[in-house]
Structure 1
Amino acid sequence: MTVLRNHVGGRFVESGRTFDKTSPVDGTTVAVVHEADAVIVDAAVAAARRALNGRWGTSSVADRAALLRRIADGIEARFEDLLAAEVGDTGKPVELARRLDVARAAQNFRSFADTISAKGLDAFLTDTPDGGRALNYAVRKPLGVVAVIVPWNLPLLLLTWKVAPALACGNAVVVKPSEETPSSATVLAEIIAEAGAPDGVFNLVHGFGAGSAGELLTSHAGIDGVTFTGESRTGSAIMKAVAPRVRPVSFELGGKNAALVFDDCDLDRTIEGLSRSVFTNTGQVCLCTERVYVQRGVYDEVVSGLVEAAERLRPGRPEDPAANFGPLISQTHRRKVMSYQALAVEQGAKVVTGGGAPALDGDLAAGAWIEPTLWTGLDNAAAVMREEVFGPVAGIVPFDGEEEAIALANDTEYGLAAAVWTSDLDRGHRVAQRMDVGMAWVNAWYLRDLRSPFGGFGLSGVGREGGEHSLHFYTSPTNVCVGLTGPWSAEEAS
């Protein structure tokens, strides 16, 4: 049986309490995990502080960039180990995890190595009130000890998305992965140590949220900032935990993302894109579409096309080449998603496909499986059109004109992402810019440049990460102002 331990100050440590991590595919035990207690969390924070006060705190940009590139090399060298860890924890198809999760992990480290290497000094001359001049420049310093809390849907991808810029900027981190996906973080701890990171630069604590490692970490006096991806209500709890100490936070939270389909769209391209945005990773991506608004002229065709796409999905074991649809992360989450399926029907939805759980034989019957589900007949007042379900579900609603579509899409407390499908690029630009979201795609979905800002509005989060936007969170600037004397013009010089 695999045993997963906490990683503190360069060594793996056990605790006095463990929990079982079970497979969402068939309910079998994947690993026994040591849950961090207050003593271990304290030790992890202290180890991170020692690293900052030691040689890591005086490391150069070139040294840090070189470390990030060695970590990327280590990820590629242990690609199959990380792949097995991700698939074992999440149950997602092997090819999805290979293409999306693990490949992107190495890219994250290389991208931020390039970003920090290219970052120059911000300097400018200013006129002062007395007619003199001053040279101003900002020195960006590490934020300090950063708590990194990541979810279970894309555990390695999102972990590296946060750890890479944090280390690039010279911080030390204490990571808490989800209790549902502890395995890949453990492998990453080994890779970072093997890459030559000083002890304490990367620390790992396992556990749950409230009353466990998550709460202990976010409320710890030694934490200088928190970066978190996950549910909006958990983000709110973290904000309350750090408020007494006024610590900065970077949150990427939930979404109730809309797609707007206009009747001049390329139908085949649109339906393919919509099927990915609704059903990828069993709908367990913060950027997935749960609301589809379709202009009446193509409404029936879009509904039938999406139904066909949903019914082509095949559940099965991750390694089965015929399977292209995985389980939900847990039985607890399955119950939540199924409760929304029932609620949709209660509120008047017509289920055009799915609506339940697939009948699977053998060991798979114990897994957290669910059917891809599409509803019609609902409007924006329905709870399932307002609350994040985080499963392979979507409501499809007709509209008549552009202004109506924009109003429907923006009628939400969330503001993470949107997609606009149209052959009229003037309309595409116009509508995308009016979406109250952090990211708006036109004729695409999940197309990402790692230098672009990532984040949302409202219940979808606080702050932006990606490229130089990440550097703003993971550093604190000190402005240096140097008063200059001397002649400022040719007349004065003569």
Structure 2
Amino acid sequence: MTSPALAARAALTLPYTHVESMFIDGNWVAADGAGRNQVTDPATGQVWGSVPDGSDTDVDNAAGAARRAFDTGPWPRLAPEERAKYLLRIADEVERRADALALTNTRENGSPIAESRGAAANAAGIFRYFATLAGYLGREDVRPFPSGVGESVVRRDPVGVCALIAPWNFPINLMVIKLAPALLAGCTVVMKPASPTPLSLRLIVDSVAAAGVPAGVVNMVTGSGRLGDAMVRHPLVDKVAFTGSTPVGRKIASAAGALLRPVTLELGGKSSAIVLPDADLDAMGGVLVRSCMRNTGQTCYISTRILAPASRYGEVVDMATTTIAAGRQGDPLDPATVFGPAATPAQFKTVMEYVASGHAEGARATTGGRAAVLGGGLENGCFVEPTVFADVEPAMKISREEIFGPVLSILKYDGIEEAIALANNTGFGLGGLVFGADPTAALAVADRIDSGSVGINFFASNHSAPFGGRHDSGLGTEYGIEGLNAYLSYKSIHRRASARGV
């Protein structure tokens, strides 16, 4: 008899599984590279798809198409309001593909379907938000000289051809947050999804094509990290945007620096949730998974370190333990599943090494703390039991390094000054949380956390507010008007005031 998990997968009809093509110059074309990259379901260990492992020639072709579309095509020359209309059509097309996108995403990386079902709506929302900024691009900007001798017309020009590289944890939205502002700005792009998640992005490309975006404006190649390096260094590329690990981000920054090429990097994090003495722990429990272990802990900004006051340490440990232990782990295609697998065997190995480190250094696992053993067709999946470690000390490895898995560490503090110092004692600066009943006091603590984003009693991304990391968490920002500015190049045209209208 077929197991439930395998039967559920056999019943799926997905638009893309084993494919031979890349999207270049407005068409799906055969890849030049002869190699293949397999796509594996991390919940079952089954290989269910494959894509071309692209070559330098594929990158050349994609970059060349983007260059021609930028230099001689209509896209950069359209009024921003016209480009915004395309973005709105893309958003509609993405929503039409919501089911296929969610199911493909979940099969690629094991995100619980309850999570991936929101990907299309969120992606559409990003396109629609950036469409609202067309007026900003089209607005006349004339600035008088302070001396009064003339004035300057400030132009906001598209930066050019952009290489966009996304990670595997949120393969759709972490690409769309680059693609949408680049398109509104008038740029053309070459996209590369992460190797484990190359199929779901094809549905975004289909949406772009269905919306009528001119050929060459959006191109996509697939392949290993070697292909991403070729994109970063390609002579026809003007800007790079990357989301992924800090070590890879450093290499990209080095290459971009040598080329004097602008780069946006959204990298790793090791964020903290400071629990103030007056915090409502019941309310905190209601948002704990979303804020501290979202997507089975595979989210860059979540606060995987909980800093609890000594006076309430036991209460916080009990609340976190009960909440995490109650979250169902299982088949990510089951809508009731809260925790799925690690996205890849390599990530499973990494997380288990951190779990072993926690045990070895004296932390106490109050729930989890080992690999999960599941049945029903999930025996070969990459499952780690959702884990809470108590009695964690600041010097422990699990307290200092990004784990990117379902592992929470709970540290104790005496006094708010120590809490803030603990929150700021990592090399990262991406997210953070403050839980407290007094909004004024909570805001005062949030202001002192050295991080690009901090939530008070919850955490969420706001399409209209900048999101970016400090220190080892990256360079630049995405989202908001600041995210649009990252795809612009400025030109000042100086003239005598009498030349107005010339």
TM-score by length of 1: 0.94
What corresponds to 1:28 in structure 2? 46
Amino acid at match of 1:469: E
Q: Is the 8 A contact 2:466 2:480 kept in 1?
A: yes
SS of 2:150's equivalent? strand
Partner in structure 2 of residue 338 of structure 1: 352
Q: 1:465 aligns with which of 449, 471, 478?
A: 478
Q: Which amino acid aligns with 2:194?
A: S
Matched, 1:180 2:184: no
Aligned runs of 1:293-312 on 2, under 5 Å?
293-312=307-326
Distance 1:315 1:165 in 2: 36
How far is the alpha carbon of 1:418 from its aligned partner?
0.8
Task: Tell me the TM-score normalised to structure 2 length.
Answer: 0.93
Whole-angstrom CA distance in 2 between matches of 1:5 and 1:284: 29
Question: 1:360-399, aligned counterparts within 5 Å?
Answer: 360-399=374-413
256-265 or 85-94, which moves further after superposition? 85-94
Query: Per-residue displacement from partner, 1:289-309 (whole Å, max 9, x unpaired)?
Result: 121100122211111111111
1:241 aligns with 2:255: yes
User: What is the match of residue 163 of structure 1?
Assistant: 179
1:262 to 253, 276, 292: 276
CA deviation after TM superposition for structure 1 residue 4, in Å: 5.3
Deviation at 1:18, TM superposition (A): 0.9
Q: Say whether residues 1:114 and 2:132 are aligned partners.
A: yes
1:229 CA drift (Å): 0.6
The percent identity for this pair of structures is: 37
Q: 1:322 & 1:286 partners in 2: Cα distance?
A: 23
Aligned counterparts of 2:322 and 2:76: Cα–Cα separation in 1: 56
Q: Is 1:38 equivalent to 2:53 in the alignment?
A: no
Q: Secondary structure at the match of 1:108?
A: helix
Q: Specify the code of the residue in structure 1 equivalent to 2:155.
A: V
Task: Give the conservation status (yes or no) of the 8 Å contact 2:302–2:432.
Answer: no
Which piece of structure 1 moves more, 356-365 or 449-458? 356-365
Maintained 8 Å contact 1:115/1:467: no
CA pair 183-479 structure 1, distance change in 2 beyond 3 A: same
Could you report, residue by residue, the CA deviation over 1:385-433 in whole angstroms, capped at 9, with x for unpaired residues? 1110011111101112111111110111000011001111221111101
Distance 1:406 1:308 in 2: 26
Are residues 1:89 and 2:108 paired? yes
Instruction: Confirm or deny: 8 A CA contact 1:259 1:421 kept in the other structure.
Output: yes
SS of the residue corresponding to residue 49 of structure 2 reads strand
- Aligned pairs for 1:349-368 within 5 A: 349-368=363-382
Show CA shifts across 1:238-266 (max 9, x none): 11222221101111100000000011011
Unaligned runs of at least 5 residues, structure 2: 1-16
Partner Cα separation in structure 2 for residue 109 and residue 321 of structure 1? 27
User: Which amino acid in the other structure matches residue 319 of structure 1?
Assistant: L
TM-aligned CA deviation for residue 79 of structure 1: 1.4
Instruction: Give, as a single letter, the amino acid of the residue that structure 2 aligns with 1:461.
Output: G
Which residue is 1:103 aligned to? 121
Specify the SS of the correspondent of 1:158: helix
1:75 to 81, 88, 94: 94
Mapped partners of 1:220, 1:164: distance in 2: 22
Instruction: Say whether the 8 Å CA contact 1:227–1:251 is kept in structure 2.
Output: yes
Alignment of 1:51 onto 2:69:
yes
Secondary structure in structure 2 of the residue aligned to 1:454? coil
> Which deviates more from structure 2 when the two are superposed, residues 412-421 or residues 342-351?
342-351
Which one of the candidate residues 151, 157, 161 is aligned to 1:141?
Answer: 157
Q: Deviations over 1:212-245 (max 9, x none)?
A: 2111111111110100111000100111222221
Does the 8 Å contact 1:275/1:306 carry over to 2?
A: no
Quick check: 1:417–1:437 contact (8 Å CA) kept in 2? yes
Contact kept, 8 Å, 1:221 with 1:245, in 2: the verdict is no
Q: Which residue of 2 aligns with 1:281?
A: 295
User: Could you say if the C-alpha distance between residues 475 and 321 of structure 1 is closer, same or farther in structure 2, counting changes exceeding 3 Å?
Assistant: closer
Choose 74-83 or 477-486, whichever is displaced more. Answer: 477-486
Please report how far the alpha carbon of residue 186 of structure 1 lies from its aligned counterpart in structure 2 after TM superposition: 1.1
Secondary structure in 1 aligned to 2:295?
helix
Confirm or deny: 8 A CA contact 2:339 2:386 kept in the other structure: no
Within 5 Å, which residues of 2 pair with 1:206-245? Answer: 206-209=222-225, 212-245=226-259
